[in-house]
Chain A
């Protein structure tokens, strides 16, 4: 069975600074996908970034980048130039295979607070 671990219940960062949210995963499968979602207080799940297990380059999407270290089984999210609107809950998730038809396993989440 797969498992996602997010060890930081909460993180504080000042506006315009970069922040790293940690995520480690555990699976014996070779093919898997790693995701990061943002959940503001409204509850909606906002997709941020995806990394496939066979992708050699780290994924980037605007201010978001995923630091994928396969040997360490880590997939940390880096947010550059934090903005006040980045304050939200962030979830790391994994699916097996490279198809979205596989279910997502979520970590417990990290609450990020961005201060002025």
Chain B
């Protein structure tokens, strides 16, 4: 299968600071990556689609100026939470599609997630 990593796995920051989360495809190239947010005991909600070489596509209700996405290369996408507030505390997960899965379709491979706590 394909491996997606995220860094950091957890981060605690003060309110008003910015936090950068990295998502890397380790053994395959990903022109597209997805960023999800998951609040405690809730489902995953798509935040944005990250596209290599072009602007990210944000879902309705997600502030693009607050959640900056940069798809710097075919293996790296970053999510920066700017001026973080306690309500941004959540579990952030990225995924990338690859044909390296068991099935013949482009299976999405998920990173291990980043737990953000804003004090």
* Contact partner, B43, options A91, A95, A103, Cβ 8 Å: A91
A44 within 8 Å of B by Cβ? yes
Tell me whether chain A's interface is mostly helix, strand or loop, or mixed.
loop
Contact among A45, A99, A105 for B105, CB-based, below 8 A: A99
Once A100-B97, A106-B44 are accepted as A-B contacts, the answer to whether A43 and B107 lie under 8 Å apart by CB is no
Q: Is the CB of A43 within 8 A of B113?
A: yes
Chain A: how many interface residues by the 8 Å CB criterion?
A: 23
Taking a contact as CB atoms under 8 Å apart, the answer to whether B43 and A101 are in contact is no
B97 close to A109 (CB less than 8 A): no
A18-45 interface (Cβ within 8 A of B): 33, 37, 42-45
B112 contacts across to A, CB distance below 8 A: 42-44
B105–A33 contact, CB under 8 A?
yes
Interchain CB contact under 8 A, A45 and B43 = no
Check B67 for interface membership: any CB of A closer than 8 A: no
Q: Are B103 and A101 in contact (CB under 8 A)?
A: no
- Seen from chain A, the residues whose Cβ lies within 8 Å of a Cβ on chain B are 33, 37, 42-45, 47, 50, 52, 61, 91, 95, 98-101, 103-109
12 contacts between A and B (CB under 8 A): A33-B105, A43-B115, A45-B44, A47-B101, A47-B108, A47-B110, A99-B97, A99-B106, A100-B108, A101-B97, A101-B106, A109-B43
B residues in contact (CB < 8 Å) with A: 32, 34, 38, 42-46, 49, 91, 93, 95, 97-98, 101-103, 105-110, 112-113, 115
